[in-house]
A and B are shown apart, each in its own frame.
Chain A
Amino acid sequence: MKKNIPLLFAFVVGIIVLASEFIPHRPFNSITETLQNWFMIISGFAILLGQISLVRVNVSKIRNRSRDWQFYLACLISFALMVIIGLLWGKQEARGILGQGAAITANLGSKPFDYLFDNVYIHLSATMFSLLAFFIASAAYRAFIIRSFESNLLMITGVIVILGRTSMGSMLTGWLPARLHFLHLPVLTDFIMQYPNSAAQRAIMISAALGILGSSLRIILGIERSYLGSDK
C-alpha cells in the first residue's frame, strides 16, 4: 500500500501531463502549470527541512568534535549572521523588524545584509568559480596527450580552439590571404564549434532525450521503482 499509492499517483499524473501536451483545451492546457505551482509550494515548505538538516548535521559535528569542527562552526555562524541581520534591517529597499536601519546604513554605506553581500559573498562566490581556470589548466596538462589517433585529433582540435579564443589567434594567422581565410584561427575555431561540435552535441542530446523518454515511461508504468527506494 505504501508503495502502490505513489505508483498509482505517478501513473495518473504522468498520463494527464502527457495528454495535456497534446490537448490544448481547458482544463488540460493549464494542468502542467498548476502542477508546477504545487511543486513550488511544496518546495517552499521543504526549505525548512533543509535548514533543519543543515543545523542538525553541523551541530552534531561540532558536538562530536569531528575533524576540522571549526569549519562547521564557521558555517553555522555565517548562516545565523545573514539570517539575523536580514531579518533585523531587511535588504535593499525592504524593511526589517527594526525598520530601515538608517544609522547603521549611514556608517556602512549600505544595509548590513547588502554590505556583506556586496563585499563578502560576491567575492567568495567569484573565487569559487574562478577555480575553474586553475582546474582547466591542470586537467589540460593531464588530458591532451599524444597517444593514439583519437587523442591526437583531440589535441589538435583543442589547440586550435584555445588559440582561436585568444587575441593571439587573430595575430598568428592574420596575414593569410583572403582565399585562405578559412584557415584563419578564429574562423577555424568558429567552424569547429559550429559544425563538428554542434553535431556531436545534438547526437548526445537526441540520445539523452530517448533515454528520458524510456526512463519516464518506466516510471509512469511503475516498472522503474528504485526512486521510491525499492524495486519490489
Chain B
Amino acid sequence: MTLTAVFGKPISHVAQHADAAETMIAFVNRICRRIGILRYKKYEVIMRICSLLAILMVLAFPLPALDAPSGTFTIEDVPWDNGMKLLLKWNLSAGFDSLQILTPDSLGVFQSIQIDNRSTGDQIMANLEPNQDYTYRLEAYNRSTGERYALQATGKPLEGWFYLGKLSYLIMLLLISGAILYYIFSARRGKELFIRRISGLDSMEEAIGRATEKGKPILFVPGISDLEDIQTIAALTILSHLAYRAAEYDTSLIVPCRFSMVLSAAREVVREAYMKAGKPDAYREDMVFYLTDDQFGFVAGIDGIMVREQPAANFFLGSFYAESLILAETGFSTGAIQTAGTAQAHQLPFFVVSCDYTLIGEELFAASAYLSKDPQQLGSLKGHDFGKLLVILLILTGIGFEIAGISWFRTFFEGVR
C-alpha cells in the first residue's frame, strides 16, 4: 500500500499565503538591495515577476498551511481481495456542511464522484485496476464562513493471496470434499455402503432389452449444452454404460449432438465402450453425429429422427431448456420408453409428465456411480448426503440467528459480493 498525503490548504487563505509570499519577496528584495543587485531597473522587474511566480508556487506546491483544518484523509488498500478496491478514510474537524470526493479524469481534471456530509467516514472505491496509482481529492465546504478545504491522497490497490470473502466457500468445500474423500477411502477398505434404488437407472436394462426385442434403436440425447457444462459430462458417463450394454445386445444406438466438442467426446466414449464390450467392429461413426448448433433446429432434427426411426427407448440426459417438453412429448407419441434427467429444476416438471422415469437433479450426477457399482464411486455419494446434512444444519442455524437479530452469520456465508 502506498500512502501520500500531499496537499492540505484552506483555499480561502490563499490571499494570506500570497501576503506571506510578498513579505518573503520583500525580504529578499531588501537583501538584494543591500548587496547592490537591484541598482538596475530590469532587476526590479525580474523581482516582481519572481514574486508573482512565488505566489503561484505557494498555490501549486505543498506548504504548511496557516490555520490548516485539523483533519486527515488517507487511502488504504483493501486487504484479502483481488486488488480492485481502495478504502478512503477521512476525519475532519467539525464545521463542514458537506464534502465531496473527486478523482481526475483522463485529462487530469478533477471530477466529483461522490457527495457526503459526514465529517468522519470511509468509502470503498471498487472496480479499480490492480497495481495502478489512484489519486483522490477530498473537498470540504463550510457554507457559513465560505471556507473550502482540499485534501489529496494517492493509493494503489494490490492483489492479495487469498480471497477472504470466499472463506465460507472454502470451509464448505473442504468439509464436503473431506467427507466425500473419507467415504471413498472407507469404501476402499471394504465398508459396505447402502444406496437407495434409483428406478430411472434400473430401467436402463429394461429399455435396452425392449429395444433389442423389437429390433429398434435406442436414442440418447446428451442435453443441449456444450462440454463445459458438468451436466453434459454426467450425460456422457451414462452414455458410456449405455453404449456398453447396447454393444453387448447388438442394439443400434443413435446419438445426435448439438456441439462439435460434444460430438468428438461422445464418439470417443461410444467407441471405447464398444471396444470394452469386445465388439469394435460393431461401432460405426455415424451412430454419433452432429445436427446443428441452433437450439430449435436441433430439437426439430431429433423430433424427425424419433418419428422416422421410431426408437424403442429414448434417453434425454443432460442440460435442457425450453425444448424439453417438445422432445419428451414427441417421444411419448411414438410409444418409446423414456428416461430423462436434468439439473435444470424448472424443466423437471415437463419430463416428469412425459417420461416413464426421471432423474431429478443430483441423481443425474450419481448415475455413473450407481451404474458402475464401484465402491469408491458409491462412497462419494455418501459424501453428498453429508453435504445435505450440513446445508440443512446451516439453514436452521441461519434462521435461528436471524430470528435472534444476529446478522454476522448470514453476512459470513453470503461471502464475496
Contacts and interface: CB of A to CB of B under 8 A. Distances in A.
A95 B384 CA distance: 55
B294 A60 contact: no
A50 interface: yes
Interface in B264-302: 264-265, 268-273, 275-276, 286, 289-294, 296-297, 299-300
B270 to A, nearest CB: 8
Say which size band chain A's interface belongs to: 35 or more
A211 B238 CA distance: 15
B49 to A, nearest CB: 51
A229 B296 contact: no
A39 interface: yes
A226 B269 contact: yes
Instruction: Classify the interface of chain A: helix, strand, loop or mixed.
Output: helix
Interface in A209-232: 210-219, 223-224, 226-232
B233 A229 contact: no
A135 B286 contact: no
Given A60-B286, A226-B269, A229-B268, A29 B361 contact: no
Contacts of B360: 204
Interface residues of B, number: 89
A139 B330 CA distance: 11
A227 B237 contact: yes
Contacts of A81: none
Instruction: Classify the interface of chain B: helix, strand, loop or mixed.
Output: helix
A160 B318 CA distance: 31
Given A50-B290, A214-B180, A24 B163 contact: yes
B241 to A, nearest CB: 7
Given A50-B259, A68-B308, A206-B391, A217 B353 contact: no
Given A138-B329, A211-B384, A201 B350 contact: no
Interface in A14-58: 21-26, 29, 36, 39, 42-43, 46-51, 53-54, 56-57
Interface string B4-16: 0000000000000
18 contacts: A36-B228, A46-B263, A48-B260, A54-B292, A71-B308, A128-B326, A132-B322, A204-B348, A211-B361, A211-B362, A214-B366, A214-B384, A214-B387, A217-B177, A224-B377, A226-B241, A230-B275, A231-B372
Interface of B: 81-83, 130, 159-163, 166, 169-170, 173, 176-177, 180-181, 184, 226-228, 230, 233-234, 236-238, 240-241, 257, 259-261, 263-265, 268-273, 275-276, 286, 289-294, 296-297, 299-300, 304, 308, 322, 325-326, 329-330, 343, 345-346, 348, 350, 353-354, 360-366, 368-369, 372, 374, 376-377, 380-381, 383-384, 387-388, 391
Given A128-B300, A204-B348, A230-B240, 11 more contacts: A25-B83, A39-B228, A43-B226, A50-B290, A128-B299, A139-B325, A204-B345, A210-B362, A216-B230, A229-B240, A231-B240
